[in-house]
Structure 1
Amino acid sequence: MTADAQNQDNERPLIAHLLELRTRLLRGAVGLAVVLACLLPFANTLYGYLALPLLAKLPKGGQLIATQVASPFFAPMKLAFFAALVVAMPWLLYQAWAFVAPGLYQREKRLALPLLSSALLLFYAGCAFAYFLVLPMVFGFMARVTPDGVAMMTDISAYLDFVLVMFLAFGLSFELPVALVILSLLGWVTPAQLREGRGYAVVGIFIVAAVLTPPDVVSQLMLAIPMCLLYEAGILAARLVAPREPQRA
């Protein structure tokens, strides 16, 4: 066989992988576009639901304001895109899974599916925790400490950015058990090391909570306490999946 023929045979699998990647990316983009098209007509309604935690804590007659000309249009559109991304995440993850699954061993497949499902559910749980528990407490605290004679009137774009940051902070922070399991599977840490480093982890968690949340004690505690509990859950999960060390004679 000539060198040119060998090069062609080597290029065929690469071309096939690239075509498969293009197909998966197109399917993911189409799915995201379909979800976005379905949510765009309800963009203002979605923003109304998002504003409820703040509006419920404002004095009677309080409302959000738009300080920029295009804010009433772009803020709901931005929210609709974020909501479409969250709703379409299972479809996007499935496309990524369908691309990489043929190259995985059977044991890796058995572990990857529960990890992906758990990561998705934990992210949703973090966003729900932020919306239903954290935001009402934060805005209630802000309303109580507002000085007399000051009207608490928030711009809709600034409010949206604040809430999206909180969603991402809590959604990603709730991924802590999955991260610990992955580190344990890779052999970088062991469940025993995670237990021994519990004190350092608690300090690190409070530092992360102080960085990711607004400068108030309520939101910091609302993030730090669940993360400490999730750290303990991650230790338990790591014990179940970590490779067992050989016993010494």
Structure 2
Amino acid sequence: MLKSARKQEKDPEGRMPLAEHLRELRNRLLMSVGAICLVTIVALFFYKDIVSFLMQPVLDSVGCDPSTKIDLSLGTGGSCADFTVNGLLSPFTIMLKVAFMTGLVVSTPIWLYQLWAFLAPGLHRHEQKYSLFFVGAGVPLFVGGAFFAYMILPTTAEVLLDFTPAPAKNLLPLDDFLDLLTRMVVVFGLAFELPLLLVLLNLGGVVTGRRMLSWWRAMVMGITLFGAVATPSTDPVGMFALAGPVTLLYFAAVGVSLLNDRRRARREAAGPDDDEASELDLTPEAVGEIEPVAPGGALPEGTGGQVNGSRPPQNGFDDAT
């Protein structure tokens, strides 16, 4: 088995030939895919438990109890629902989908670390700190967004099923429910990453904390509208469940950016780090007064081109020319 390229080539600046970079990328990808496959295989044995965990909040909210199920012959339908699986191959495909998504989510720390390990040697010391901050803060924020999506899902299902006409019965295909849950998790998770994006822009010097603070009215309005559009339900509970935490995280990002602006000002006053080059002042300056230069003396006539004992001219040229 080939060893890691960086174990063979230890350059203090992280420089490697292209072939070594490709081999290092291959090794990192193999370890990431291997981790995902390993967790996916383990999830296959707990597939039913995982699906039950995902379905249970909705069943507790709108599930039909056999003892209290609405009698459709009376013409008074209800808002309860039953999960269904359509088709002969649907249980197998749902099992693979749930296992793969579980493997991808649970193995996130492993493949994020592999990505970090591949990029870190080519970064400066302060850039490595920013990358660690991105990974360390991004994963909890995404998990927090996914948790909020999971928590408001019962309310979302209850509101949406209230639109069912009275003589109809609600049947929820399990694969459609999993797709809806996946979309909500992705939307809420990415929405919770907004403050992290703002902080990274501030760390990169793109926008200051005071500038972000001046956007607060537009940001609050935009976050609220996004919460109304992104959540599949029309109730205010789902909208504010997304807009409220994201707004608080936005103001937290503004506070972190203001503190970073102060830290940057102190660092610039102290000078650059050891691995950074000093900035050059390339501002054009006015040219000063030009000093006159005395012209050289001509050879005196009648000397045959000889000056101070120099050799006579050869073929019309002398030592001066």
TM-score range, shorter chain: 0.7 to 0.9
**3-state secondary structure, aligned to 1:154:** strand
Whether 1:33 aligns to 2:37 is: yes
Instruction: Please name the residue that 1:8 is paired with.
Output: none
2:260 to 222, 225, 241: 241
Q: Match for residue 165 of structure 2?
A: 147
- Could you give the per-residue CA deviations for residues 130-150 of structure 1, whole angstroms, max 9, x where no partner exists? 11x211221232344433232
Matched, 1:199 2:203: no
Q: Distance in 1 between matches of 2:231 and 2:33?
A: 32
Q: Structure 1: how far apart are the matches of 2:215 and 2:250?
A: 11
Structure 2 counterpart SS, 1:216: coil
State the match for 2:109 in structure 1. 90
* Paired letter, 2:166: D
Q: Which residue of 2 aligns with 1:107?
A: 126
User: Secondary structure at 1:244's aligned position in 2?
Assistant: helix
Q: Which amino acid is 2:64 matched to?
A: P
- Measured on the aligned residues, the alpha-carbon RMSD in Å equals 2.1
1:36–1:80 Cα contact (<8 Å) kept: yes
Q: Under a length normalisation based on structure 2, what TM-score does the superposition of the two structures give?
A: 0.69
Q: Counterpart amino acid of 1:82?
A: M
Once the 2 structures are TM-superposed, how far is the Cα of residue 215 of structure 1 from its aligned partner?
A: 4.1
Q: TM-score, normalised by structure 1?
A: 0.88
- 2:198: which partner in 1? 180
- Which consecutive segments of 4 or more residues in structure 1 shift more than 3 A? 143-147, 242-247
Higher helix share: 1
Q: Deviations over 1:151-201 (max 9, x none)?
A: 221101110100010111111111122111111112221111111111111
1:130·1:166 contact (CA, 8 Å) conserved in 2? yes
Larger radius of gyration: 2
Contact 2:159-2:233 within 8 A present in 1 as well: no
Partner of 1:71: 90
Q: 1:60 is matched with which residue?
A: 65
Q: Which amino acid aligns with 2:32?
A: G
Q: Which amino acid aligns with 1:44?
A: K
Q: Which segment drifts farther, 118-127 or 68-77?
A: 68-77
Q: Which runs of 5+ in 2 are unaligned?
A: 1-14, 67-80, 270-321
1:196-235 counterparts in 2 under 5 A? Answer: 196-217=214-235, 218-235=237-254
Q: Which amino acid aligns with 1:186?
A: G
% identical aligned pairs: 34
CA separation in 2, counterparts of 1:20 and 1:211? Answer: 43
Aligned to 1:46: 50
Matched residues in 1 for 2:59 and 2:16: separation? 59
Secondary structure, counterpart of 1:146 in structure 2: coil
Mean CA deviation greater in 139-148 or 223-232: 139-148
* Alpha-carbon separation, structure 2, partners of 1:46 and 1:215: 24
- Which deviates more from structure 2 when the two are superposed, residues 167-176 or residues 206-215? 206-215
Structure 1: which amino acid aligns with 2:265?
A: R
Q: Which residue of 2 aligns with 1:22?
A: 26
Which AA in structure 2 matches 1:60?
A: D
* CA distance in 1 between partners of 2:206 and 2:133 (Å): 20
SS of 2:167's equivalent in the other structure is coil
> Within 1, Cα distance between the matches of 2:186 and 2:193?
11
Matched, 1:171 2:189: yes
Tell me how many residue pairs correspond in the alignment.
Answer: 236
- Conserved 8 A contact 2:148-2:241: no
In 2, Cα distance between equivalents of 1:52 and 1:75: 17
Distance in 2 of aligned mates of 1:173 and 1:231 = 11
